[in-house]
Amino acid sequence: MIQYKAPLKDIHFLVNEVFHFQHHYPSLPGGSEASPDMVEAILAEAARFSEEVLAPLYQSGDEGCVWQDGQVTTPKGFKEAYEQYREGGWQGMSAPVEYGGQGLPLSLGVIKSEMIGTANWVWGMYPGLSMGAMNTIYMHGSEQQKQTFLLPLTEGHWMGTMCLTEPQCGTDLGQVKTKAEPNDDGSYRITGTKIFISSGEHDLTDQIIHIVLARLPNAPKGTKGISLFIVPKYNVNEDGSLADRNAVSCGSIEEKMGIHGSSTCVMNFDGAKGFLIGPENKGLMCMFTFMNTARIGTSIQGVGAAELSFQNALPYARDRRSMRSLSGTKSPDQVADALIVHPDVRRMLLTQKAIAEGGRAMLYHAARLADFMMAAHRRGDTAGYEAYDDKLGFLTPILKAFLTELGYEAANHGVQVYGGHGFIKEWGMEQIVRDAQISKLYEGTTGVQALDLLGRKILLGKMKSFNEFRAEVSQFIATHQNRKEMKPLIRQLKRYMLQWRINTFRIAFKAARNRDMVGSASVDYLMYSGYIAMAFFWAQMADAAYTGLKVNAVDKDFYQAKIQTAEFYFDRMLPRAKSHGKMMLKDPKSLMQMEDAHFMLS
């Protein structure tokens, strides 16, 4: 059976010793409420809820949802867990006070979501989708829309969804056909079908607020003609109570490879009443608020898959006995030595550990940037908001794609550690793999994220955000290159950073002559960038661990393990970047020269 224990020691290490959130929070509007004692209490309670309430529902939730006559029933225990979540005020923890939230920093919400998502990603998708709806309404909705829809969403009485995909289009939203026709009262009639809608219908709350892309009459073709609408499951009276059922229904739920406990719905809008959010024909721009929220959230799944698989592979590797160590018997009183003594098993375990802890550091850094971004928004500082949005925008495709690719790899290592037992359902390791696979697909596949990074953020952005990140790393290198313990890591980081810059210029030069170069290089470029970026965060953790060794004798083993994992990452994982670097510079000829018809085998 899958077990989960919140990695609070590692979380506190990042919060207090690497990123120093105790100094960061007082600089934020309302951040003084996030005192060290308050933060510790929140993390402890989030850990308890995740371990005791959500983790036991993970494997049983794999039985899936049930659809009947348009109604969806979630797995046993999901609704009761959500009631505890809502009563605990978790949904509005980082939401603005004026709209029912507690006003705590966004980064605290990310840490909470990481624990929830690792314990039970499938359950966590339901309130996670609501967070995206809340952010979209907060950023782009009118004051009336905020009062009507945002308040009950923040309080957790209602939940939300994101409705983009249609049968004929997924990533290419320029093909959206759903129509929005104006009513006399200022509302709109929304007509069309959306597919793959997570949490589109369920029994956790009565009301569901759908954020829907649709086209107004005579709208421009393509993405320039898409608008965004709020479409409630139930119409809402002026006093906020629920009125009659809106003309939106769930036609079916999908039978999926994984995340069975998440209701993935076909949603039919048959002239449903909706309300325009944001400007006409600017729906995609507004929807990116939701999508970026979801992409950061999806990166949590990559970290969570690595952490959960590692937590369960490690005790198995310690207990399971097979063969003798190549360097000599380690347990002569036992029939065989433990799996963990074998180098290849240690390779898999250390890879899982490096991915989980390195990914967590990247995630918390991004959450810190989000804190600054939202603080600027609340102050009305447009320039500050855009500056931090650019910084976060550069990291978002790396977080979403790189961490989910590595999280899936880590989940597979967990199955491999178990051997044949890993393939058997009762152990739960194969479920982590099945559930993790979707993380590489939704909110844009790895290929889509790679095009966003290389095409938009690097080439069209003229390397602005890349240079800002490089400057941050360079400052760290300059500050720490003379620290004796850090020199081996700093020398490598410095070389890789220099090569990253040179190779980016090389791709830009090649792409100017052949646009297919962008598509052929993009995924390798993203993975290359991800490995180097994670090296920066492992260097920061190693530096903090060396400091910890000098001042904290109690946690000596923890700090030593952190340093040794950093050394493993630089020695065994960072070199992967070199192969991606070679491939991304190759001419696209061998990819593009074959005629379409020649792909057929006969």
- Please state, in angstroms and rounded to a whole number, the distance separating the CA atoms of residues 363 and 369: 10
Q: Residues near 31 by Cβ (< 8 Å), separated by ≥ 6?
A: 24, 25, 105, 371, 375
Residue with tokens 């977080």: 399
Tokens, residue 200:
């589109």
Under a CB-based contact definition with an 8 Å cutoff, are residues 29 and 379 in contact?
yes
Task: Please provide the size of the chain in residues.
Answer: 602
User: What gap in Å lies between CA 100 and CA 83, rounded to an integer?
Assistant: 17
What are the φ and ψ backbone dihedral angles of 161, each rounded to 5 degrees? -140, 170
Residue with tokens 């994992």: 565
| Spatial separation of the C-alpha atoms in residues 522 and 517, rounded to whole Å | 8
CB-CB contact of 129 with 70 (8 Å):
no
Query: What letter would DSSP give residue 74?
Result: P
What's the CA gap between 10 and 20, in Å, rounded? 13
Question: How would you classify the pairing of strands 208-214 and 159-163?
Answer: parallel
Interior/surface letters 467-487, b for 16+ CB within 10 angstroms, e for the rest: eebbeebeebbeebeeeeebe
Beta strands 159-163 and 248-253: pairing type? unpaired
* Consecutive H or E run containing 244: strand 242-245
Distance CA 86, CA 99 (A): 16
The residues carrying an active-site annotation are: 443
